[in-house]
Amino acid sequence: MTNSDIVFQPFSFEKQTFRCISFNESEFVMNWKMEPKGKVDPHIHKYSDEHFHLIKGEVQFKVGGETMIKKQGEELFVEKGIVHSIVNNTDEEIEVRVTYSPCADIHRMFFIMATLNLSRPGSSVNIAKYFYLSPRLGLKDFSTPQPEFFFKIISVIISIAGKLFGWGKLVHKFK
C-alpha cells in the first residue's frame, strides 16, 4: 500500500468512521459515519470552512449557539472560526459527506490517523498521538476543542504522555 493509498483507508474513532473521498489544495472531501447516540463536542476549525451534506439520517447541530436539526438531503455550511458541535440523538447511524475548504493539511491528518489505525484499529490513543505529532510536524490544526483553555491543558498532558511513551520516534516516521 502506498502513502497516497493510506489517506483513503477508513479509520474509526469512538462512534465515528471517516473515509477520504478526494482532496486537493482547495478542498478535502470525506464520508463520515456516526453511530447512534454519538457526538462531536464543541470545536472550531481555524483554517477551513466546513460543508455538511446529509446522506442518511437526522443530526442535531449547534452552530454559534444556535441549535438546529438537519435531515437526509439537507446541507449546512459552517465558516472557519465558528464553534460547533454535532449529536446523533437517533437510534440509527448517520452518514454525512463533509467538505473542508481549503484542505489545510487535513490529508496529512488522515494519513497519520489511517497509518496509526493499521496497528491499533479504533484506539483512542491514535487521536492523542495525532495531537502530539501535529505541532511537532508543523501541521495546521485540524480542529481545536472548546473551550480553548481546556485544549491547552490537554495538550500539556499529551505532550508529557508522548515523552513518557516515546512517541517522538513517530515524528521521524511522518516527516
C-alpha Rg value of the chain to the nearest Å = 16
Report whether 104 contacts 73 (CB < 8 A).
no
Render the burial of 69-86: b for 16+ CB within 10 Å, e for the rest: ebeeeeebebeeeebbeb
pLDDT tens readout for residues 85-112? 999 999 999 999 999 999 999 999 999 9
Question: How much is the mean pLDDT over the chain?
Answer: 94
CATH code 2.60.120.10 region(s) in the chain: 11-101
Note the pTM of the prediction, 2 decimals. 0.91
What's the mean pLDDT in 153-163? 95
pLDDT at 17: 95
For residue range 2-28, list pLDDT tens digits in order.
Answer: 666 899 999 988 889 999 999 999 999
Residues 59-75 pLDDT 10s:
999 999 999 999 999 99
- Predicted local confidence at residue 150, as pLDDT: 86
pLDDT mean over 114-142 = 93
The CATH class of 11-101 is mainly beta
Rounded CA separation 54/33 (Å): 10
